[in-house]
Chains A and B, each alone.
Chain A
Amino acid sequence: MQEKKSDSLQTGVYVFIALLVLTGLEFWVAVGNIAASLPLLAVINLAKAIVIIVYYMHIQGMFSADEGGH
């Protein structure tokens, strides 16, 4: 169990790095006059939102009593 929670800390670091990379990428897409920047920004935004919702907000545990205690 303890090992699993250490993994969670490490996952948090990977997620944070992924979010920073995606944020940098969308900034580059926006300021770099890239063709079709709007659909690209939409895809990057969705990717960022999914990463946060799955890894930080644990949407998959919505119906589970395993997280939050007991």
Chain B
Amino acid sequence: MSSIMTDYKYQLVNRKLGLWLFILSESMIFVALLFTRFYMQAVNRPHELNQILGLGITVILLSSSFFANRAEVLISRGDRKGFLRNLAITLVLGLAFLVVVVAVEWPEALNFAPPATGFGTMFFALTGLHAFHVLTGLIVLVVVFFQGRRGNYSSADYWGAQGGVIYWHFVDVVWVFVYSTLYLVGP
């Protein structure tokens, strides 16, 4: 029994390390793109960029992270209903973020920053890559949600849920820098 437990703990630490190494490698892609934005455009930014919309979607994503954290805490104390409720709110907010970026922000940005321009290239590359990560994060959280509904997580073993939530927070951390770099930097 004790050997099984030691085995489980060893595997858990390995899985955590694997996730963090994955997050680190993903971060490198975004760091490169963020630096490219400054290399190509210095601190210039089109004045037409909708800063209020940028602020709004930032608040939506931060709120989704808040509910994801609550979901994780609740499953760690065995509250499955609370976990599912908070995860569902996270999913709705994440989907809202994605819909606003793709259906509202992109068509608007096409008018003053088409992809053929320097800023447009960086805007669509950064928001596009980030939106793709939001999409994959949503898929992961949907899987976590259904696993949770089946009762596959408990206060004794919730790494599957925690791993998905950590990835979702990573998407949030990336947006902190993308938002500021695209929407706020510049005269």
On A, residues with C-beta under 8 Å from B are 2, 5, 8-9, 12-13, 15-16, 19-20, 23, 26-27, 29-31, 33, 37-38, 41, 44-45, 48-49, 52-53, 55-59, 61-65, 67-70
Contact = CB atoms under 8 A, between A and B. Distances in A.
Contacts of B13: 63-65
A11 to B, nearest CB: 9
B28 interface: no
Contacts of A20: 59, 62
Closest 9 pairs (CB-CB, A-B) = A65-B9, A69-B157, A30-B184, A68-B159, A16-B66, A12-B69, A56-B169, A8-B73, A5-B77
Contacts of B187: 33
6 contacts: A26-B180, A30-B185, A31-B51, A52-B173, A63-B17, A69-B158
Contact of A67 (B10, B65, B162): B162
B20 A56 contact: no
A70 B77 CA distance: 12
B99 interface: no
Given A70-B5, A70-B9, A9 B17 contact: no
Interface of B: 5, 8-10, 12-13, 15-17, 20, 43, 51, 55, 58-59, 62-63, 65-66, 68-70, 73-74, 76-77, 154-159, 162-163, 166, 169-170, 172-173, 176-177, 180, 183-185, 187
A41 B184 contact: yes
A31 B73 CA distance: 36
Contact of A57 (B70, B155, B170): B170
